[in-house]
Amino acid sequence: MSDDVIVKDSNGATLAEGDSVTLIKDLKVKGTSETIKRGTLVKNIRLTGKADEIECNTKQVRGLVLRTEFLKKA
């Protein structure tokens, strides 16, 4: 993971390791029948080194990679 990558949410707020984010859109999870609903709070995110992706765990799915365009900082 490189330190020069700045990760921003859909509103332009900078995200850091361990932040909490909220989904702004219902998202279907590929490979499962799960849908994560809009408004779901995701805690303790991990940065992937890519400016448009984060890793996280939800109650339904572990090891999930989410695009930052569908998130806002909580």
The continuous run of DSSP H or E covering 57 comes out as: none
Q: What's the structural domain count of the chain?
A: 1
Per-residue pLDDT, 44: 97
Task: Report the CATH number that the domain containing residue 52 is assigned in CATH.
Answer: 2.30.30.40
Per-residue pLDDT, 22: 97
Q: Report the length, in residues, of the chain.
A: 74
The residue behind tokens 């569908």 is 70
Per-residue pLDDT, 60: 87
Predicted confidence pLDDT, tens digits, the chain (74 residues)? 556 799 999 999 999 999 999 999 999 999 999 999 999 999 999 999 999 999 999 998 999 999 999 999 99
Per-residue pLDDT, 74: 93
Assigned domain for 2 exists: no
- Residue 26 has which token pair? 């219902």
What residue type is assigned to position 60 of the chain? Q
Assigned domain for 1 exists: no
pTM above the 0.75 mark?
yes
Assigned domain for 36 exists: yes
Q: Which domain, by its residues, includes 33? A: 7-73
